[in-house]
Amino acid sequence: MILLALLKIFLLILPLLIAVAYLTLAERKIMASIQRRKGPNVVGIYGLLQPLADGLKLFVKETILPSSASTKIFIIAPILTFFVGLLSWCVIPFGEGLVYADLNIGVLYLLSISSLGVYGIIIAGWSSNSKYAFLGALRSTAQMISYEVSIGLIIISVLLCTGSLNFSEIVLAQQTVWYFIPLFPMMIMFYISILAETNRAPFDLPEAEAELVAGYNVEYSAMGFALFFLGEYANMILMSSLTVLLFFGGWLPIFNWNFFFWIPAIIWFSLKTTLLLFGFIWVRSSFPRYRYDQLMRLGWKVFLPYSLSYIFFVSSILISFDWLPQ
């Protein structure tokens, strides 16, 4: 049993780490194409070995510990961020039965684990004993907490339609129609919220290079920086996968089109996730950064009231037509 559990963990983590590595390459290539320049094209054919070269470079570089930092906590922070980023994947189903732990409270588990990521960031900023790192950590923490509220409320709208906290059951409830059609405004708000939750442009205020250099991880180098980097990109893939599960039918084809049944579930799921990740990169290439007051205004004065009102709207429709799931 232990060997089987270890094998399942290995089969889950290894493809994730490869996906993170090549997501960085895809981002650099796509952004280069959008900006009419060449991306990485020297290391390997078409630059395909560039992520491996970058990983090796970070692995062999010297780890520098600031003399004024709280050393033990400083080292723990990136490990915690990376570990929390991997834990969230336990409940993500890639196909029917293709999940490490099919929990009945999978949504609650995911929300609780993902909220722990704030601790790694605030610990990194505080333990660095640098005003710039601490300011970046405070920005990031405030931003993540603000948009977790709207993300939670939007998920409640989906749960009202499904009647279950199990991700597999949420996907199977979309066999007739994907939820992005009846819940389209919620899907748009959710996608914008996950951009803010993962500190991605145009909401990359914690890492604003112009005024904060690199935010909470400014004092980190070598493997410490690499772990933060891996955690951030793993979180991007996680949030895109979550969007696919909640609004795009997971591994299911749209409207039960038989044409798609020959495609393996995991490939179909991965294609949807890849399209959403392309949106992350496209937005980064196209939009300028928000001001911090605009960021907070969007979260608390726009998304919060809209998501709350949509919960009342969805629940009233379900009750009026007696569509509440049993």
The 10 Å Cβ neighbour count of residue 91 is 23
Are both 161 and 271 inside the same structural domain? Answer: yes
Are both 189 and 43 inside the same structural domain? Answer: no
Are both 191 and 286 inside the same structural domain? Answer: yes
Are both 31 and 92 inside the same structural domain? Answer: no
CA nearest 313: which of 183, 151, 189?
183
Are both 36 and 78 inside the same structural domain? Answer: no
Location of structure tokens 């979309």: 174
Question: What would the two tokens of residue 65 be?
Answer: 């510990």
Listing DSSP states for 92-161 in one string gives: --SSTT--S---TTHHHHHHHHHHTHHHHHHHHHHHTT-HHHHHHHHHHHHHHHHHHHHHHHHHHHHHHH
The 10 Å Cβ neighbour count of residue 326 is 3
Boundary-marking domain end, from 60, 79, 107: 60
Which structural domain, as residue segments, surrounds residue 305?
A: 64-320
Cα separation, 212 vs 281, whole angstroms: 22
**pLDDT score, position 151:** 93
Provide the domain count of the chain.
2
Question: What would the two tokens of residue 59 be?
Answer: 């692995």
Cα separation, 187 vs 176, whole angstroms: 18
Are both 299 and 239 inside the same structural domain? Answer: yes
Confidence of residue 186 (pLDDT cuts 50, 70, 90): very high
Read off the pLDDT of residues 133-157 as tens digits, 9 standing for 90 and up: 888 888 888 888 889 999 999 999 9
In a domain, 326, yes or no: no
In a domain, 325, yes or no: no
Boundary-marking domain end, from 60, 88, 111: 60
Residue 203 and residue 298 in contact, taking contact as beta carbons nearer than 8 Å: no
Residue 169 and residue 252 in contact, taking contact as beta carbons nearer than 8 Å: no
Read off the pLDDT of residues 263-277 as tens digits, 9 standing for 90 and up: 677 888 899 999 999
Give the mean model confidence (pLDDT) for residues 15-19. 90
In a domain, 203, yes or no: yes
Are both 17 and 133 inside the same structural domain? Answer: no
**pLDDT score, position 305:** 93
Read off the pLDDT of residues 21-76 as tens digits, 9 standing for 90 and up: 999 999 999 999 998 888 888 888 888 899 999 889 888 888 888 888 888 898 89
**Average pLDDT for the chain:** 86
